[in-house]
Amino acid sequence: MVFTSGGTESDNLAILGVVRRGSAQGKHVVTTSIEHPAVLASCEQAEREGAEVTWVSPRSNGVVHAADVRAALRGNTVLVSVMHANNETGAVQQVAEIAATARELGILVHSDGVQAAGKPRVGVAELGVDLYSISGHKLNAPKGIGALYVRQGVKLQAQMFGGRHERERRAGTENVPSAVALGAAAAWHLAHGDAECGRLAALRDRLEAGILARVPGVRVNGAGAARLPNTSNLRFDGIEGEALVIALDLAGFAVSTGAACSSGAVQPSHVLTAMGLTAAEARSSLRFSLGLGNDEAQVDALVAAVEAAVARLRRLSPVYSHAG
């Protein structure tokens, strides 16, 4: 385990640490088109340094199939990087199946587990991955701490230089207090995570059922796929997502039109368009995330706020009126 500053650094160390061993020239990486920007940007940097990257698309439910990844593998493939669960839709990916295929061919497998860690319990041995990224704040630890699981025997080229910290894989004085907090958070999830996942799943289902029952023209992006218990992505016909975000913010609720790290982006979600949604459909979609501090009363209040906000925005929308 290598302690890092968070999921972004963990992803960078995993991907570039493998690709840059020796020269990147002529090496091949397989990833997906729905990854977090930390993975996408790392793979793009690997391309600039001479590596080839294949971007595998998901099916319409947001899941990248293991067969599609297998078809992308080559004789010079050195790494497969597939997220454990998507940060926008919550769709759980077929990591174990993908890893089994790659391991047969001697190809290393990295998984960005930032969104999935603790929801549900993660076993890197069961997943069969060589590298696994986590971030503390997703486990209710402080921001600014993360970790990269590195299977014994896997060699990485360091991306930071200086001292011989972390077995020469990451130079710099470790953030010991935050690392201790990350360990405490992980211990809490080991003891209570299963119950908390069940509670969050019930809240998510209550949220979706309430909105679908009270607001017409709503669809669940990723419906039918195995999903994380705390994440829901809903599409509202005839609505500009940013307008609904603002309306709900004024009502006291924090939601987003995509990944939190992409707030302010003018482009539609790359995850949703990769799933086959049009740009307009992607822009009409919102992500709802639930956590330790949420309860049924808050969910019910959110449903009511969504109903009121959508009705008001649709009355003002000539596009929706025309469609109606």
Give strand ranges (E) for the chain: 2-4, 28-32, 52-56, 77-81, 108-112, 131-135, 146-150, 218-220, 231-236, 285-289
Going by the DSSP 8-state scheme, the letter that residue 138 receives in this structure is: G
CA distances from 280 to 40, 88, 236, 272, 277 (A): 23, 17, 10, 11, 8
Going by the DSSP 8-state scheme, the letter that residue 160 receives in this structure is: S
Exposed, middle or buried by CB within 10 Å (0-12, 13-18, 19+), for 321? Answer: exposed
CA atoms within 13 A on the CB side of 192: 11
DSSP 271-289: HHHHTT--HHHHHTEEEEE
Of the candidates 232, 227, 228, the one whose C-alpha atom is nearest the C-alpha of residue 208 is 232
Report yes or no: 111 and 127 within 8 Å, Cβ to Cβ.
Answer: yes
Residues in the chain: 324
Active site residues: 261
